[in-house]
Amino acid sequence: MKKALFKQKPKTPVELVRHARELILFVESKTCTRESKREEKLAELNKTILEIRTALYGNGESEPNADACSQITREFFTDDTFRIFILYLGKLKLGARQDATHIIANLQRQRVCSTIVASQYLEKNLDLVGMLICGYDQEGDVALTFGAVARECIRHQSVAKYVLESENMKKFFEYIQIPNFEIASDAVATFKELLTRHKPTVAEFLSKNYDWFFQEYNSQLLESTSYFTRRYAIKLLGDMLLDRSNSSVMVRYVSSLDNMRILMNLLRDSNKTIQLDTFHVFKLFVANQNKPPEVVSILVTNKHKLLQFLENFNCEKADDHFQADKQQVISEIIALQLKDQPCKSLDNCEVPC
């Protein structure tokens, strides 16, 4: 009866966020030498994080309260509570870390007085984004957590632009080839998000950084010995080049003899999915109405082998659209003629047969 009389009053949304902040600072301060006390505070922190998540997402029976969500959002971006959460994220146990990741993801979408507060905050704290990207240097689940949070943050165009223009962008060519398949796959997901979500920003980045970016992309990804790397790389290349926003980049890419050499080698890949995705990029070289003479020369010189390959080229995933594209490519190749250009051959490249 006595316990019921003095039952603790539920914390308000603002109090929940402040309490979580205080608990993190307490645990990190190491002022408490008793392990049992520290474990007690960690358990309380896990419980508080879950309560914040429930307030933001609802409990399954009732929808979240809009005013409560606004209060939580405002409080998170006051006194650097968001920064403290990010810095402590990797030290949380898996369950609490997943709850915290959901909270961070939700905050990226919350509007307060029609303003996405998270975007404004991150613009002034871009070092946090760099730290998240470098999270792929961590091991196991922690790297996956940082990757998931990074993808949520680059929903904001200003944040994505910062990552694209930073030195961290070059690190993705290493992260994608990490031996740990889960981490490499997660890095691929973040890389793809950076290169496809904010189209005008991506187009500007690719135009300004064409030389180094595609040199790395070709040599490290398309020509990788890893099947996984080649498969994802050729698919993403198609997505980028076929996007209208990247039309000028596409024209530049398909005007390169070196690029065509790489694509023709990929057409010979033993994997049918890679072959199919390669075809969708190779057709752009053939369809280019302003082919450089050296590209025309190679296509004409290898016309017979190319036509032979294309006539027999079919995949399980092929549909009517693919068949139409294939016939168009065949027609274009048949119509090609040399215009007083000396014949050349592709070094280290064999036309598929």
Helix axes 303-312, 320-335, angle to 10 degrees: 160
Nearest-angstrom CA–CA distance, 194 and 121: 20
Give the residue extent of every domain in the chain.
Answer: 11-108, 125-197, 211-335
Cα–Cα–Cα angle for 15, 123, 208, nearest 5°?
155
The superfamily (CATH) of domain 211-335 is: Leucine-rich Repeat Variant (1.25.10.10)
In this structure, what DSSP letter does residue 90 have?
G
Nearest-angstrom CA–CA distance, 305 and 322: 20
**pLDDT of 167 higher than 80:** yes
Question: Global pTM?
Answer: 0.89
| pLDDT tens-digit series, residues 244-300 | 999 999 999 999 999 999 999 999 999 999 999 999 999 999 999 999 999 999 999
What does the block give as tokens for 189?
Answer: 């997901």
Other beta carbons within 10 Å of 214: 19
The beta strand positions in 108-215, using DSSP E, are 111-112, 115-116
**pLDDT of 27 higher than 50:** yes
Lookup result for tokens 């070196």: 258
Confidence grade of residue 139 (pLDDT, cut at 50, 70, 90): confident
Give the mean model confidence (pLDDT) for residues 183-194.
Answer: 97
Other beta carbons within 10 Å of 60: 6
CA distances from 46 to 24, 40, 50, 51 (A): 10, 10, 6, 9
Other beta carbons within 10 Å of 230: 20
Say if CB 174 and CB 167 are below 8 A apart. Answer: no
